[in-house]
Amino acid sequence: MNSDDLRLASIIEKGEGGDIVIVGAPFDYARRREGKKEGEDDGPCCLRRFFGRVGPIVNPEYGISIEKVRLSDYGNIRLE
């Protein structure tokens, strides 16, 4: 794979040390309270499954690259 084929998942590290930190908030209390369909609490994990498809992170046509951006994934926080 050359550098213009890199996907978003290839630059995300675990933890909280990045320039940008992803924090999942699995929460669907408001939907339950309203009596509507539940399941939004799966949102953060669902989003993470698609990180491997997002890309490329280098766009030579526009001269844009996010290769040097430090992205980290803190995981999900617990909400009650």
Helix H, strand E, coil C: the string for the chain is: CCHHHCCHHHHEEECCCCCEEEEECCCCHHHHHCCCCCCHHHHHHHHHHCHHHCCCCEECCCCEECCCCCEEEEEECCCC
Q: Which residue has the higher pLDDT, 43 or 80?
A: 43
Beta bridge partners of 58: 65
Q: What is the pLDDT of residues 5-48, one digit of tens each?
A: 889 999 999 999 999 999 998 887 777 777 777 777 788 999 99
Enumerate the domain spans of the chain: 3-76
Q: Record the pTM.
A: 0.74
